[in-house]
A and B are shown apart, each in its own frame.
Chain A
Amino acid sequence: MPANKHKVLIANRGEIATRIIRACCGLGLDFVSLATAGDLASGHVSLARELGGEKALYRIESYHDANEILSVADAAGATAVHPGYGFFAEDYRFARRTAARDRPLTFIGPSWWAIRDLGDKISTKRIARSLGVPTVPGSDRPVYDELEAEELARALFAFQDEQGVESGCVLVKASAGGGGMGIEEVWNMDRFRSVFRRVRNYAKRHFNDEGVLIEQRILDFNHLEVQIVSERGGRNHVHFGTRNCSIQSLGRQKRIEVAPGFVPGEIGYYFDAAGVLEAITRNSLAMAAEVGYDSVGTWEWIVTPKGEPFLMEVNTRIQVENGVSAAIARLRGEPGVDLVSEHIRLALGEPLGYSQQDLSFEGVGVEYRIVAEDPRERFAPWAGRIERFQWAERPWLTVHSHVPRDAAYDIPMDFDPNLALAIVWGENLAQAKERGKSFLNELVLEGAAAGGGEMRSNIGFLLEKNQNILEF
């Protein structure tokens, strides 16, 4: 690491906070962590105390309060701030503020202008179109006016009708949203107005911006991603391969992620799958180089059943699923790549130290998101107490979790009820699936709701979907 040793403030919680704490320790960096009153039982709190002592943890009122975070940074003598994912990870104003204040901090993420230009779905679409990169048909700016929104939706229905789509569908999305939140489908114009109003109200409540996007819903698509990494200054862009995140819950929340995005060697596709992976990787790298992207980021694509890719958005942050790409990556033939560490190291100004030729990919990685939710009730989040959460350690398995294994844990109400990310590696898809199945079958997860109701989780859903991973 650089001679000027940094102290990293981790402005996040849960599983990602535990990974950042471990990455900081691995890089020899000091850190300070945060927790709200309702989140003190989270594993990141005990890990921060264990690895950093009592002074490595500060109680704050909210993870959403920038003043709170920056005042702790000053009090704790932090020199850098890591936003994790969610919260301030894609807030360019926050990134700009960290750099522009009297006591500047290094933002562990892209430069603020890169977040501004690429973090916004609309701006990304404009940049992509200017480079000839295909994007999803729909509005290219946030819509606030109901009549304008209706006009756009009518045009999209008419377009799908012309394309011979039997029952067209339009997506209504909160412009400032992300991660599948604030998105609804509309199947006919009669319902459009009420859905538009609902999404606009939701956007106002959760993102303080009523802007709504109207897009064509592409049915039966696959959701692919390209993992891009580059160093400060927007130089030396490399990719860490592709991921397939098509297995999602009803609320369009990712539940199983797989690297690589397709396996043409094992599954027969009706289109040139290898060609699609090559095209989306090439286009993502070209776009990253063109805008001078200078951190770890993800280019998200949708691929139609005919094998046509459309760029959906760019996530200018470390993704939840970064570990599944790292699982299949080999640096000069060696495993053990950690993208969370790379993200920190590069943001603090270290050179990349390798090129695309030094990277290779081996086997298949599958990430299962273990979530307390009820797939039988439209994936409704489940709240209650986790009494037992245990699994057998395996050489091919990595589990990231903030749920304590030595004590009961009450799931906090303010966040998604994610319990763990389990990453399984196999020499090929068949082996990865088999290992995933055995992990899920052996996993012990027990708990009870406050009223004595039965514990709900998505393990059954994951087992069912595991059978058809990467089939398209």
Chain B
Amino acid sequence: MLNVKGLLEDIKASPYEEIVIAAPHTGVVEFAGIRPGDKVQGRSGTWKEKPGTVLAHLTREKNRKPLCAPEKGEVVEVHVELEGRFVEAGEPLAVIRHFLTRKEVIELILKKALSLFPAPEKAKYYFVPEIDQKLKVSGKRSVKLRDGMEVFIVSRMKRETVLPYTGPGGIIYSVYFHRGDNVDAGQPLIGVCPEDQLSLIQDVVTKVQSEWEEVE
């Protein structure tokens, strides 16, 4: 039986993560006046369509692009020495301390409760077109899996192979990878909830919702 209370206590002991805001690509940096201690907002809206607080702008090829806070939190560091300079991709620009949301805590705990299907090798993963379509149209929990079902396309070194799902039958409850990302071997791709355990998983969700207090 999953010790939800114990897991929650562990997370409460360190309830935040530090997010390094790095230059996603090359360009000239122009900070948006942020300072350590400033509160910032992350993406919001039903589809996360509203961008977070602008932290900086990055300009290249006459394109001035805003660099926004991905999550809500507090600015703890700003590399002001880079103001007006051309930076390379991956250059750290700022650090945000983000306090975990209820939803993130639920995902963390569900990783312990769901049946995880890990990436067998480092590669890019995609859902096969039929499943991809279903996920887009009807959402994650609309896809029912069974052992041996062809679910993923593995793209490695420009070659593609089909990867069948192996594990208990159930519905896709969580997806842990993004299209085009390189996933390391052993990292979970999806979390599957066997149908007979749906109520147990719902209990976990309810418990976390009632016990986790979000930092404003």
Contacts and interface: CB of A to CB of B under 8 A. Distances in A.
Interface size class of A (residues with CB under 8 A): 20 to 34
A75 B90 CA distance: 16
Contact of B60 (A71, A417, A451): A71
A202 B160 CA distance: 9
A72 B89 CA distance: 10
B27 A71 contact: yes
Given A383-B157, A413-B157, A416-B158, A71 B61 contact: yes
B157 A71 contact: no
Contacts of B126: 205
A71 B90 contact: no
Contacts, number: 71
A283 interface: no
A383 B158 contact: no
Interface stretch (A61-69, A115-123, A134-142): A61-69
Contact of B26 (A37, A72, A380, A414): A72
Interface in B194-214: none
B24 A451 contact: no
A61 B123 CA distance: 18
A68 B89 contact: yes
Contacts of B160: 202
A251 interface: yes
Interface residues of B, number: 26
Interface string A243-265: 00000000100000000000000
Contact of A58 (B26, B63, B129, B155): B26
Name the prevailing secondary structure of the A interface residues: mixed
A61 B182 contact: no
A181 B158 CA distance: 8
B178 interface: no
B145 to A, nearest CB: 21
Interface in B4-43: 24-27
Nearest to B128: A201
Interface of A: 36-38, 58-62, 65, 67-68, 70-72, 75, 181, 201-202, 205-206, 251, 380-381, 383, 413-417, 450-451
B159 interface: yes
A380 B90 contact: no
A380 B157 CA distance: 9
Contacts of A61: 24-26, 89-90
Contact of A381 (B88, B159, B182): B159
Contacts of A251: 159
Nearest to A251: B159
A381 B156 contact: yes
Contacts of A417: 157
Looking at B121, B123, B157, the one whose CB has the most chain A CB atoms below 10 A away is B157
A417 B61 CA distance: 32
B25 A450 contact: no
B79 interface: no
Interface string B76-113: 00000000001011110000000000000000000000
B27 to A, nearest CB: 6
Given A58-B88, A383-B157, A415-B158, 5 more contacts: A59-B91, A67-B60, A68-B26, A381-B159, A450-B122
B185 interface: yes
A59 B88 contact: yes
Given A37-B90, A75-B86, A67 B157 contact: no
A70 B25 CA distance: 12
Contacts of B158: 181, 206, 415-416
Looking at B61, B91, B126, the one whose CB has the most chain A CB atoms below 10 A away is B61
A58 B27 CA distance: 12
Q: When A and B form their complex, which 7 residue pairs have the shortest distance between CB atoms, in order from nearest?
A: A71-B60, A59-B88, A381-B157, A61-B89, A61-B25, A75-B86, A67-B61
Interface in B110-133: 121-124, 126, 129
Contact of A60 (B61, B89, B185): B89
A71 B122 contact: no
